[in-house]
Structure formats: structure tokens, C-alpha cells
């Protein structure tokens, strides 16, 4: 295992510092401490959990100036975006604090005894929710606050009553260390064990593998690439005692645009879509990577769609993406775009960036037949690019969705009036996506009660779970039925021992 790795300036590649990777002994010590802390934390009250999360939110805000400057150096995401993301992260922490205070993690079902013989008669039962245990949390690169050290997975696990071991992302290691130092200060101030939130780090895959293999770890949460997530999910399943692995992986987020909608709103929709494709240099898990156009559903459909592609191309040329998170991501983006060309895609916009400059937006188009036949056209290309797929009919558009596979989102523009075709498209969208939009663009994931951020493979490993929103804490709880429980136990009202 490599013993050191570097923090780099995302814009220039300059090395900002060298860090020491966690050793197997380090990982063991952190996981052992998390197991010890869990034994105490799971029995804590909702008020105690809320107090910790609110203090962490306040600590983030108090350290804003230092944290945002450090994040900007390591990610090139810019202070406006990063300040907004820090605000979202603090909001997320406080929202989960409110959930803890309302007693949601301790909700239980009371099923009083019914006299008589079964099946109608039954003993007294209560169904409780128990925290799973120490959670391994794999931080994401593209959201250095909201999906990183103090992101939604950490908040959800803590409010569920679990301890957490964070695998820091090597794309922003100095920010991760600074954020973790903040956490340790808050834990000490609240007289909580330091092991309640631990952190390991390193650029080697071995650090993440050793973490998910550790016998103290009871569940894992991951946001990242399909390849990386699939490897860790396999490790979680191969343990002597397999554990749940909640991975949010790759997604191409199809946008289906019906010709009637484009005919009346095409120019505005092109501008909006171009901004979404280039937002954050395309480094969003909900980036609209595929645009499905239907060419034969009305007399002038093809002409309307041709005009929209031109409008979108012009809107994209006016976008100026910033540098990508890492040089490796930039290489992968360029390689993905090249694979489109090798698979027969025709480029609508494909400007070559000057040496050392950020990538330029890319737009290409293919037939639905080609998209369905060639796997290379269906792979996520992480960056400011999108692929237009021209379908001949609603039936073929549905085949495109099926070929795309599981997706975090599908957007359907033009579904306001009910018809058999619209019903079929919406049904097809719901079959593959965790979230279906009927207006706007998929970038931007609200932290709210009804949010579903997850979907069928490859968008996530567990399509029934969400990594954003109030329901995210359910991943780290499991049900237990208590039958004919004594009064002292029932008096705890769902709070674990």
C-alpha cells in the first residue's frame, strides 16, 4: 500500500502538500474505536443527537472562510458554488437534527395482543428500529461538503444512532483533514467519544477495501464511480458476515423532449439545458447526459428537433466550464468523448481546448438504433458533454430508456396533457429512474421529505434506498420485533438499549 499521497491545486496541478495514508493498523484502530463509541451512542436520546448535528453545522459555518478557500484550491469549483454547498450541508445537518428531535429514529409500531387462536389471535408485539452499527462512509469528489466528510451520509448515520468511519476522498484531502479537525473539536466540546466519527485516508484502493472488510463495520455508504462502487459492493457481499452496501454510482439521466414542447419553448429549453450540461463542468451525478428526441411523432417533428439541436449547440458554445476536479477526471472525460466518435456519433459541438485550459462543452448525436446497439454510447461520460439520441417513435424511445438502464433521473418535457403515448413514456421513465421530472433540469437535488436519490443499477446498488432526503436515515436502521416484552423495555418507547 502506498504510504503517501498528494493534495493538488485543481487548476494548475501544483502539489499543495503531501499526506500520509492510513495503514492497516490505523484502519483497525479507527474501526475498533467506532465500535466502542456505537455501544454508547445508539442508546442516546434524540435531543443528544440533534445537539451534535447542530453543533457540527455551526462549526462548518464558523470555519467558512478557511474551508471554502481550501476547497476552491483542491476542486476549482469556485467560491460561489462552494459557499452555496456549505450552506446546503449545514441545512442538511440541521434538518436531520430536527428529525432526531421529533423522535423519527425511535418510531415503533405497537400491535397489542388479540385474544383467541391464530391466525386472528396473536401475542402483544412491538416493531422497533435499531441502528446497524459502525458505518463506513466513502466521500465523493464532486461535492466536497455535501457528499463528503460532513455530508448527508454522515448526518443520516449519526441521527440513526450509528458511529461513522469516513474514507476521505483523495481529491480534496486537506479540506477533509480540516473538516475532520472541526468534528473532533465538536465531539470534545460535547463530551462525546472521539471514536464516534473516525476518518481514514489514502489514494490507494486498498484503504477503502480494508475498511469495508473490517469486522466492526456494519454497513457502507458510497458515492462515486460505477467501477469503484461495484468493487466495494462485491467486497461487502463477500465478507464472512455480509453487510449492506448503499452505493450511488453512475447515471446518464435521460431527458425526453416531445416535439410539441420544443416547438413552443425550444429556444428557452436549449438555454436551460446547456447551462445544466456545463454546470460544475458537468461533474454532477444528475448531469443530463442523454437527450432523446422523437422524430416521427408529428408531421414537422424532425424539423423541430433539428432546430432544437442547433439551438442547443449554440447555447453550449457560449458556456465556459471551469477546470475539472482532477487531471484524471479530465483524461477520462476526453477518453469518453473519443469513444463516442469511435462508436459513430456525429459531433455537433466539439471544440478542442487550448493546452492547459479547461475542457470545452461537447454535443454529439446518434440514431436510437446505434445507441441501443453500442454499449460505448450508453456509458456515463463525466463532464460537460451530452449525447442526442434520435428516436423514430415512442416505442423506440422506450427501447432507448431500457437500453440506458437504471438512472437517478429521467426528465420528460411535454407531458402536461394525458395521452396513451405520454402514459407510456412516463411509465417507461418510472421503470428505470428514482426521480422523474416534468419541468426544469435534473441538476439540483432538494433535501426534503419526498426526495428519492437512487435508482436501479447502475445508478445505485439498492434501488429501494435514497442517499438524499429525510428517508436517507432508513438505510442505517433495521427492524426488530419484540414479543410479549416486559414493561421496563416497552417504557423505552423505541429507544435502543
Catalytic site positions: 248, 285
Going by C-alpha positions, the residue among 147, 134, 152 that lies closest to residue 193 is: 134
Q: How far apart, in whole angstroms, are the C-alpha atoms of residue 107 and residue 349?
A: 53
Whether 229 contacts 435, CB under 8 Å: no
Whether 74 contacts 9, CB under 8 Å: yes
Give the C-alpha distances (Å, rounded to integers) separating 21 from 98, 173, 279, 457. Answer: 36, 10, 32, 32
User: Cell numbers 494548475 correspond to what residue?
Assistant: 12
Burial 205-227, CB ≥16 within 10 A → b, else e: eebbebbbbbebbbbbbbbbbbe
Whether 390 contacts 303, CB under 8 Å: no
Q: How far apart, in whole angstroms, are the C-alpha atoms of residue 365 and residue 343?
A: 11
**Stretch (H or E) spanning 382:** none
Phi, psi of 119 (to 5 degrees): -85, -15
Whether 166 contacts 26, CB under 8 Å: no
Q: How far apart, in whole angstroms, are the C-alpha atoms of residue 452 and residue 201?
A: 29
In the chain, what is the greatest distance between 2 CA atoms, to the nearest angstrom?
81
C-alpha cell at 136: 463506513
| Radius of gyration of the CA atoms of the chain, in A | 24
**Stretch (H or E) spanning 403:** helix 394-404
Contacts by 284-287, CB closer than 8 A, 24 or more apart: 284/142, 284/443, 285/142, 285/223, 285/248, 285/250, 285/251, 285/408, 286/251, 286/253, 286/408, 286/409, 286/442, 286/443, 286/444, 286/445, 287/253, 287/382, 287/386, 287/442, 287/443
Number of alpha carbons in the 13 Å side-chain half-sphere of residue 216? 24
Instruction: Name the 3-class secondary structure at 336.
Output: helix
DSSP β-ladder status, 197-200 and 219-223: unpaired
Amino acid at each position: 500500500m502506498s504510504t503517501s499521497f498528494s493534495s493538488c491545486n485543481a487548476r494548475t496541478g501544483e502539489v499543495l502538500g503531501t499526506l500520509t495514508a492510513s495503514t492497516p493498523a490505523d484502519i483497525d484502530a479507527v474501526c475498533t474505536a467506532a465500535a466502542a463509541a456505537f455501544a454508547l451512542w445508539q442508546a442516546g436520546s434524540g435531543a443528544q443527537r440533534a445537539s451534535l448535528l447542530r453543533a457540527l453545522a455551526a462549526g462548518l459555518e464558523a470555519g467558512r472562510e478557511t474551508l471554502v478557500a481550501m476547497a476552491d484550491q483542491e476542486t476549482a469549483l469556485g467560491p460561489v458554488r462552494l459557499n452555496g454547498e456549505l450552506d446546503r450541508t449545514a441545512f442538511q445537518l440541521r434538518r436531520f437534527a430536527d428529525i432526531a428531535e421529533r423522535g423519527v429514529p425511535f418510531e415503533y409500531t405497537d400491535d397489542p395482543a388479540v385474544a383467541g387462536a391464530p391466525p386472528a389471535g396473536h401475542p402483544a408485539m412491538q416493531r422497533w428500529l435499531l441502528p446497524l452499527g459502525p458505518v463506513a462512509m466513502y466521500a465523493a469528489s464532486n461535492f466536497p461538503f455535501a457528499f463528503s466528510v460532513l455530508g448527508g451520509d454522515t448526518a443520516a448515520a449519526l441521527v440513526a444512532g450509528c458511529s461513522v468511519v469516513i474514507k476521505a476522498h483523495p481529491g480534496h484531502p486537506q479540506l477533509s483533514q480540516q473538516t475532520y479537525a472541526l468534528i473532533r473539536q465538536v465531539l470534545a466540546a460535547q463530551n462525546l467519544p472521539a471514536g464516534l466519527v473516525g476518518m481514514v485516508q489514502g489514494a490507494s484502493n486498498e484503504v477503502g477495501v480494508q475498511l469495508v472488510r473490517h469486522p466492526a463495520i456494519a454497513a457502507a455508504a458510497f458515492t462515486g464511480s460505477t467501477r469503484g462502487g461495484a468493487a466495494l459492493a462485491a467486497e461487502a457481499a463477500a465478507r464472512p458476515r455480509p453487510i449492506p452496501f448503499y452505493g450511488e454510482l453512475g447515471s446518464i439521466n435521460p431527458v425526453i423532449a416531445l416535439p410539441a414542447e420544443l416547438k413552443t419553448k425550444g429556444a428557452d429549453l436549449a438555454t436551460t439545458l446547456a447551462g445544466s450540461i456545463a454546470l460544475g463542468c458537468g461533474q454532477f451525478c444528475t448531469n443530463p447526459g442523454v437527450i432523446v428526441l422523437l422524430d416521427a411523432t408529428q408531421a414537422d417533428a424532425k424539423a423541430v428537433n433539428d432546430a432544437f439541436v442547433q439551438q442547443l449547440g449554440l447555447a453550449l458554445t457560449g458556456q465556459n466550464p471551469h477546470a475539472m476536479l482532477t487531471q484524471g477526471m479530465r483524461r477520462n472525460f476526453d477518453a469518453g468523448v473519443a469513444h463516442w466518435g469511435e462508436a459513430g456519433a456525429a459531433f455537433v459541438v466539439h471544440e478542442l481546448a487550448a493546452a492547459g485550459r479547461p475542457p470545452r462543452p461537447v454535443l454529439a448525436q446518434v440514431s436510437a438504433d446505434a445507441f441501443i446497439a453500442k454499449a460505448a454510447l450508453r456509458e456515463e461520460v463525466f463532464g460537460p458533454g451530452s449525447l442526442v439520441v434520435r428516436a423514430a417513435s415512442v416505442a423506440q424511445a422506450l427501447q432507448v430508456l431500457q437500453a440506458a438502464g437504471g438512472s437517478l433521473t429521467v426528465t420528460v418535457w411535454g407531458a402536461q396533457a394525458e395521452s396513451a403515448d405520454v402514459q407510456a413514456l412516463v411509465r417507461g421513465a418510472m421503470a428505470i429512474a428514482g426521480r422523474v421530472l416534468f419541468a426544469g433540469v435534473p441538476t439540483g437535488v432538494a433535501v426534503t421529505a419526498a426526495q428519492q436519490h437512487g435508482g436501479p443499477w447502475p445508478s445505485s446498488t439498492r434501488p429501494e434506498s435514497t442517499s438524499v432526503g429525510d428517508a436517507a436515515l432508513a438505510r442505517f436502521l433495521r427492524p426488530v420485533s419484540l414479543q410479549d416484552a416486559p414493561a421496563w423495555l416497552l417504557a423505552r418507547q423505541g429507544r435502543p438499549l
